[in-house]
Structure 1
Amino acid sequence: MKKYILGIAAFAALMTGCSKDDEATTTPSAGDVYYTEMGASLPATRTTLGPGNSVIWSLNDEVSVWSDEVSTPQSYTLIEGAGTNTAKFKTSSTGVNGTTFYSVYPTTMLQSTNTLILPQTQTYQDAANFASNTNPSAAVGTDIMNMQFKNLCGIVVVELSADQNAVATVNSIVLTSATPLAGKSTLSFESGSPVLSCNGTTTLTLNCGVALTETPTPFYFVVPAETYTYGMDITVNASIRGGGTLTLTKSRTSSFTVNAGEITKIGASFVLGTKTYAVGDYYAVNGVEGIVFETSNGGRSGKVIALKDASASPVLWGPTSAVGLAGVTDANDGAVNMEKVVAAGIDNYPAFKACYDYGTNWYLPAINELLTINNQWPALQEALNGTPGATQLGDGSYWSSTVSGRNYAINYLDIKGNSATMNLSSQSASSVRAITQF
C-alpha cells in the first residue's frame, strides 16, 4: 500500500534582512546583492513526519545553496518555524546571488555540487520514524523567491509485531539488494529537474532499539528511487525477553519499484516470539487464527491458511476486461498483488475483496503459494478437520491472485489440484481461501 506523502513544493524567499524598503527593491538579477535569508514552505512531506504524516521542518535543519555565479555551496540554517511546514533560514556568510539557483537538503549529505552521500546507517525516530538529515531533496530555479524542491528518494516500510507484548526488542533491521541502497550518489540537474543515481553499497541498516507489541509497528527506510529488479532481503536482529537473540530473514524475490516521494510497502511483515511452528500446526497470535502451511527461519516465520473459505460461495475473480487491470503478476507473493488491487479499487475484484474483508493482512494467495498449499493438502485437511470452527478445503477450484500472459489469463487451482488458467472475459466463479504471513 502506498501513501503519496512526500513531494516537496517549497518556495524560497531570500532577503537582505535590513529594512522593508531594502527587501522590496532586492531582486535576483542584482549582481551586487547577496541573499542572506531564505523562507521555505512545505505543503507535503519532506523528511520528518508529524501527526498524520504531515510535513514539518526540524530544529537545526540546514540547506545548501549555490548558483551559476556562486559555485561554492553555502549553508542556510533554520531560524524560525521548527515543527511547522513553513520556516525561515539564514546564512552567516555573505549569501548567494545569481540567475539560476540550486539548493540541497540536507547539507550533511552534500559532498560536492554533483555528489551526495546517502547514509548507510539510519536511525528509528519514534513517531517520526526516520531521522532528519536522512531523506534528501533538491531544487533548481531562476526565481529564488519560489524554489520548488523535489524528493530524490522514496521510502520502503517493514511491519513488525510480537506474539506477546515486550517479548522481543528489535535491535536493527538490514536491507540487502543487488541495487545500491546507500553511499556515493550522483546528482544531476541537466534535465531541468534534480535526479539522483546511487552507485554505492548494497546494504542499508536501520538501528532501532524498539520493544515490539502485538500491534504491528512500521519501520521506514529512505532508499533510492529505483526499480529493484531482483527484490530485496530483510533481516531482523532482535533480543528475546529472558535472554538470547533472534535473527529472521525474509526475501522479496520479485521486482518492485520505489518512486521518489512515495512510501512503498514491500510485503514484508514479521511476528517475533519464542515459539516455533511446523506445517499443520494451529496458529493463533494477535487475533490471527489458521493452520501453518509453510515455514522459514527454523519455524519462527512462515505462512498460514485461514480456517474457512473467505466467501461462503464461489465468486468471480475480478474485472472481465484488461482495461484498468491492476498489475497483479507476482507469482510468489500474493501480498504484493493485494496491495496493487487495494490501490486500484478492491470493490472491482470480488475474490480479493473476500480476503480483504476476512481480516487485516489476509490476502489472496499467489499461484505458487496456492501450489504449496496443494502440496500440503493431506496435512492441512487433517489439521482443519481437527480444529473447532474450521472447514476443510473444498473439492472445487480455488483462485490465485496471479495474472499471466499477453491474454491476461488468471491462474487458479483446478479440481484435480493442477495449475490452470482462465481468461478474464470468460471467467466463472471459484472458491477463495485467504492466507497471511507470520
Structure 2
Amino acid sequence: MRMKEIFKNVETLHVVETQLLASLRTASLLVLLLAAVSCTKDTDIAIAPNTDTTQPICFEIGFAWQGAGGMQTRAATDKDFRTTWEDGDAIGIFAVKYKKGETATLAASGNYIQNVKLTYSNATGTWTPATPLYFPAEENMQLDFYAYYPYMDLTEINPPTQMAFGVQTDQSGNGFNASDLLFAKALNVNKGSTASLSFNHLFALVEVDISERADNTPLYVADKLKVSLSGVQNYAMVDLSHNPVYPIVITGISPSDILMHRMDMGDASKYVYRAIVPAQAIVAGHKMFTFRQDLDGNGSYADGNEFSLSYTLPAQADLVPGKALRYKIKTVETATPDPNHLYAVSNYYPHVGRVQGVVFSVTNGGKNGKIVSLDQSPEGLIWSSVDDRDFGATSVNDGQANTNTIKAYKLNNPASTVTFPAFEWCIAKGAQWYLPARDELRELYTPKAAINTALAGISGTTQLDDSVTYWSSSEFNKNNYVWNVLLLDGHGSAYLKSSKYYVRAISAF
C-alpha cells in the first residue's frame, strides 16, 4: 500500500545521551553478574590426546560489572538493562597453551581448543561443551582463553583472527539477541583453576524514544509501528587476538536499514526502540530513523494511522563499542485532512493527523457522516439533577439539537442550579461533540464489532460495552424520563433523569 506522508516538516526536539555499556578492560578482580559455572563431565565423546582427564576445565561465565546505571543490550535485558543468559545461548571457546613464563598468541587454526561450542541450560544454570575440555597433560603449562557470543561455525575463510560478523537487519525479534556480539578472555589460567570469562559488548547500541509529542502529551504507539535505523553499516571484521578487541566496519558493502527492537517500558503507551550495530560515525544530515505504520488506511501517527516519516540527524553521531547512543524525539503534527476524503464505517476520523473518533455512519457517499468518541465516561453520570422538569430535548434522531437545547437552557437561566453531567461530559470534548439522540445510539448497534476492532488498534481507548446502558439526549416524556440504549440488543428503555448511566459522545463531519 502506498503510504501517506502526513508530516510535511517533522520538527523534533532531541536529547542525546551516552551511557557505558560495559568496560572494555579486563582485570583479575572483575565482579561477575549472574555467572554460571561449567565443568566438563564424563561423556562418550572421544578425548583429545595429551590432555589430563583428571583435570576438567571449569568456567565461570558472566557479564562485566556495569556500575550503577550501566547498560546491557541483550534481548533478555529488561527495561532497566539487567541482563541474563537465555536457555540455548551458545558461546564459542578458543584456548592457546604455553609454558609458564612464556607467551602465546591466538592463531587462525590449530589452537589447543578450537572453537568449541558451550550451550547454556536455564534449567540447571550450567554450560555444557560440545566436546569434553581438559587441561594439558604437560606440567607447568598455562592457558589463555578467548570466548565470543553468539557461537558461529567458523571456517578457514572466517577464522577467529579475521572473523566477519554482520548484525541482523531485522532485530524486531530474535535478531536483536543474535546481533549482540560479546567477547571475553581469561589469561594465564593454571591447571585446576577456574577460567573466569566476563563478557563485554563489542558493538554499539542505538535507542530512540518517540513516546511523547512536542507538547509533552503521550504518543500512543500501536503494535504495528515499525522503526528502522536507516542506512548504517552492519558488517564488521573482528580479530579476537587483538588487544583490545575492536571491530572494524567492513567497507564496500552497501548500508542497510535495521528494523529496531521494541522494548516495553512498563506502560502500554510507552516503548523505546533499540538496535545493535558496529561502531561507526554517522554524519550530520543523514536520515537516521524512519517510522512507518500501515493499518489499511485507518488511524493516525498518534493513535494508529498509516504514515511514513523520518528523522534527520542534526549533528554527527559517533557510535562507540560498548556504549549506547540514546535519542528522545518529540514530534509536531502538521497534517491537514482532505475535505473530499471518502470514509466508510469503522474508519478512523480524520484519515490523517490525530484520531478523534471512529466512523459509525456515512452519508453523501462517505464525504459526511458521524463518529463515536474513543472513550466513554469512566463512571455512570446523571442526565440532570432534577427529574420533574421538561427541558424540550425531545428529538429522537438529532442529538446535536438536543444538546443545543440544553446549552440554551443554561445560557438563558444563569441563576439555575440544575446540572447536566451527561451533556457536560460530551461538551467538554469540544464544540462539535454532543450527547447522541436515541436513534443515533441505536445506529451503533449494528457496526459495534467493527468499531471495537478499530478501537482495539488504538492505545488508551474504551470499547463499546454490551454490558452497560448508555444515556441518550432524548427526553421520553415532558417530565421525569429519558431514553437510554443497551448495546447488547440495541433496545431502548426510559429511566429517571437522576439515574446514573454511562455516556458516549458523538460528532458529525
- TM-score category by the smaller chain? 0.3 to 0.5
Q: Relative contact order (C-alpha < 8 Å, sep 6+): which is higher?
A: 2
- Larger gyration radius, structure 1 or structure 2: 2
TM-score normalised according to structure 2 size: 0.31
